[in-house]
Amino acid sequence: MNTKQTKYTAKHFSNEFPNDDACLEWLKNYRFPDGIECPTCKKTTKHYKIAKRPCYKCDLCGHEIYPTAGTIFHKSTTPLTTWFEAMFWMATTRSGHSAKELQRRTGVTYKTAWRMFKQIRTLLDESEGILRNEVEVDETYIGGKHHGKRGRGAEGKTAVIGIAQRQGKVTTNVVTNAKRSTVMPLINANVAKKTIVYTDEYPIYDTLDANGFDHKRCNHGAGEYVIGDAHTNTIEGFWSLVKRGIGGVYHAVSPKYLQSYLNEYQFRYNHRLEEQPMFLTVLNQIR
């Protein structure tokens, strides 16, 4: 994998997607790369764009095809250029962008901006497959309206379990608690057996060896953060990125929507080493 993505700047974006027609043409070509098969003619036919409408008409029978149908743009009155711009700004950041910022940039209402980002995040929920070789597992706590105790046992915070493959991908899950009965099924479902699993000293991980994993740990409570290869620096680095973003950009996220925000950070992290610009990777998630 390439360690540096090809740059895709705001100038590239404005040149490629200057108006709604350009966005619709891209969407049409993406969804119908081999041409549009007319359901009436029962064959691939030539279609032409209808002026001032987001659709293409069959040259033979006049049947209309809407490329936005079945996508997050379906029945939206917001211009496609605004949707594409929102995806561009979401892709070209590490910390995220708030709905308020999108409102200022595009002129849509705050309610519309919030809904757009919510819809875009649905595209970023993807399965990471089974992680293997060397992985780190850690739990963290996000949210809460009041300052006070941090970490385990903190009041008003939401528990999240993270599993990170070293030099690879990360997967996260919002959970109701960080008990062994909750965490172990997630590890069993996401990590291959015989994988080396690194954790801290928390007792919920005591049965990892009995479950077929090679368990190594360091005792954070005793001030041990790195013992040879045993550490959880990878997943903790991801937690730091998430918490800086949520605290600095969104300020607070309700438990109801936290998983979708985690999916956003997870998606960017997991595609960070690809050569293709992140914006195009996000666009390719459109279904």
Q: pLDDT tens, 208-240?
A: 999 999 999 998 887 888 888 999 999 999 999
Q: What is the pTM of this model?
A: 0.88
Tens of pLDDT, residue by residue over 88-146, are: 999 988 888 899 999 999 999 999 999 999 999 999 998 888 999 999 999 999 986 55
Give the C-alpha separation, 65 to 47, whole Å: 9
Mean pLDDT over the full length of the chain: 91
- Determine the pLDDT at residue 104: 94
E-strand spans in the chain?
37-38, 43-44, 47-49, 56-58, 64-65, 134-142, 158-165, 170-175, 196-199, 214-217
Q: Which residues are paired to 163 by β-bridges?
A: 137, 171
| CA distance from start to end of the chain | 25
Query: Where do the domains of the chain lie?
Result: 134-253
Give the C-alpha separation, 246 to 267, whole Å: 15
Q: Which residues are paired to 217 by β-bridges?
A: 199
Domain 134-253 has CATH 3.40.1660: no
- Determine the pLDDT at residue 1: 44
